[in-house]
Amino acid sequence: MDTIELVKKDKMKIQITKIFQGLLLCSLALALNSCANISSKHDATVSQTITYPSDVTLFLNQFKLILGDGSNVGVPTNFENKDYFFSTSADNHDWIVYKTPNGGNTHGTSNNTRTELAQSKKWTPTTGGKMTASCKVMNVSPTGDPRVAATHSVVIGQIHSADGHENEPFKLFYKKFPGHKKGSVFWNYEINTAGDDDNSGRWDYSYPVWGYDFSVVAKDEDTYPDEPQDGIELGEELTYEIHVKDGIMNLKFMSEGHETKTFTKNLITSEYTTKEDIPEQVQNLFVPIGQDGVERENAYKGQGLFFKLGSYNQTNGKDPAVNKVWCSGAETHGGDLQKQYADGNYAEVWFKSASIEVSKDAISNDGYFAANDGLSKKTVYPHEVIPIMDKFKMLLGDGTNVEDLVEYENEDFFYTVIDGTRRWVAYKTPNSGVTSKNSSNTRSELHEKREWTPEEGGRLTGSLKVMHVSTSGDARVAASYSTVIGQIHSGEGHENEPCKIFYKKFPGHEKGSVFWNYEINTAGDDNSGRWDYSSAVWGHDMSVVGESSTDFPEEPEDGVRLGEEFSYDINVYKGIMYLTFSREGYETVHFTKNLLKSDYTTSADIPVQTQNLFVPIGQDGVERPTAYAGELNYFKQGAYNQTNGKDPKSNMVWCSGADTYDGDIAKQYEHGDYTEVWFKDATIGLGVKPD
């Protein structure tokens, strides 16, 4: 009995022991699992810890950050944006990454996107400042026109003016052509243009550090200059030091395995106060595009300056015809950020360290940010660029009549643009749209409100560049590929036009022609016999046409390129019309025409040009002896597209047979079937006695 009970008790003890051991194991397992969970959570917390750029370097608290989407995020403490601004680790160092696409929203009046720090205080050249930085460029855009100096480049450091023209006495570039292993480092000095109003003549002078300077460009779209032997590779570290003291800028550039370079530049006494001072490099690069200004004598003296640092992408998608120095024509994928990043159309710069020292006299730079933040998204109306818009009404390319042009724009037809140096008023109109009752042609054109007789007189001036004319049309038709950019129009009688100024360029030609036409004020009540007499200014007159619909005459040697600036002056004084045409590098051209007395009162007076061009289509009228005497006239200015879609068989002078896509304006714009003209200046008023 006792033995049996003992056995039972022993079995119970064994069972209890096993149960306890099981519970203990379960407790240990639970504890281990709990620890594992805690460890897992801890690891997750560690892996999600963000190292902000402001953790890499503390000097960011002295800057505000502009991103590649145009936004100002302010002081970037505890901030990152994986598309533009973030930190990374490489080569046992932490780096700050600045990245920006070819196309996006810009800051201020610039054509170019940037992810860039801008100093929050400003100082003068005499109070001074110092900035040092070590960085490496990781990518520049592989697309763009290599004949454009800014293409394939990025600015990695600057001194910027916060006052006056807001020009830049220092810009440090890195540029590498596609296919090259090594790129160039150079710095540019931009003049502080003389005069308070017009900064369009500003230019840069470029100094090579390693490799080439800014002016070395490709000769054509498919070839590049030789690779620089002493160039810097992508990913190769360099250091720069900018020290401004007592008005003198001292620069130092260092990179392992390369010669250290130093430069000195006076920021308070100019070297470029006369045209004769313009360096040869500038004469070759900037003067041909009309940027030929001079600098004020004391350069940047007294102006507030500030440092900038980051990735200021100089490769953009704007048409090189707009500006052959700054507009690259690169791929932007319509501004799609990820598509640009996917195929290399961006600039990326990594900074390892940077420091800044400024005088205690430095003051707030908030005025610069207030003036430039969001400026690229703000509407600047045409009347703010050319303040005579209150003197006009307007007909747009879709038939819209606008009576009040103050604080008015239309993004399809009438708006302002920036070409890299200044703002212009753009006039754009398709080959086919809605037009006025007596015309076959669309227009986005100003119409003067005042009317005057030739005896009373009037004057209209314009400085402009034609950006585009239709690429379709019939080459045998005189009006094809042309636009009228300024006129005098009669408001009475036959409503004819004593002056029409044309620009015309055949497809495939680089240069086009500028000419003006006088249309007779036909005698009698029947105006069907009216015709024009055309006078060449540069290139051909209107009568020079192709032998077949696709055959073009020879390109004019003295012709005007798209995007090339020129000016006209129409001055009617006491019945005489005085025309003046001006263009950089060419002699001024003058014409005189009596608007009170006709030269064409009999059939025998019809010029040979007219006999060849207009008489074959039955336009063989004569003019009333007093021409336009006593008739009310008015000026017109803008883009009056002369290329239409009408069948040439109906009129071999005016019916162009161009593509119109059934009047679909968006499709015409997409396929180049439109005209676009930019004006930077214009005046209107009473006629004046000529010199």
What tokens appear for 678 in the block?
């930019």
> Which pLDDT score is estimated for 322?
86
> Which pLDDT score is estimated for 34?
40
Asked if domains 53-377 and 427-685 share a fold, the reply is yes
Q: Please name the residue that has the structure tokens 């007159």.
A: 541
Strand segments (E) across 108-201: 114-119, 121-122, 129-139, 153-161, 170-175, 182-190
> Which pLDDT score is estimated for 48?
45
> Which pLDDT score is estimated for 421?
72
What tokens appear for 413 in the block?
């037809």
Starting from the edge strand earliest in sequence, which strands make up the sheet with 93-101, in order?
Answer: 85-90, 93-101, 346-358, 129-139, 238-245, 248-254, 261-266
What's this model's pTM, rounded to 2 decimal places? 0.72
Using DSSP's 3-state secondary structure scheme, residue 626 falls into coil
The CATH number given to 427-685 is: 2.60.120.200
| Beta-ladder partners of 154 | 174, 313
Q: Where are the domains of the chain?
A: 53-377, 427-685
Helix spans in 552-664 (H): 608-613
The angle formed by the CA atoms of residues 526, 531 and 535, to the nearest 5 degrees, is: 155
> Which pLDDT score is estimated for 437?
67
The CATH number given to 53-377 is: 2.60.120.200
For the chain, 691 residues long, the average pLDDT of each consecutive 10-residue run is 34 39 39 39 42 89 94 94 96 95 87 95 96 98 97 98 96 98 98 91 97 96 94 98 98 98 98 97 93 96 97 95 92 96 98 94 92 79 96 96 97 90 92 79 97 98 97 97 98 97 97 98 97 98 96 96 95 98 95 98 97 96 98 98 96 96 95 97 96 83
> Which pLDDT score is estimated for 679?
98
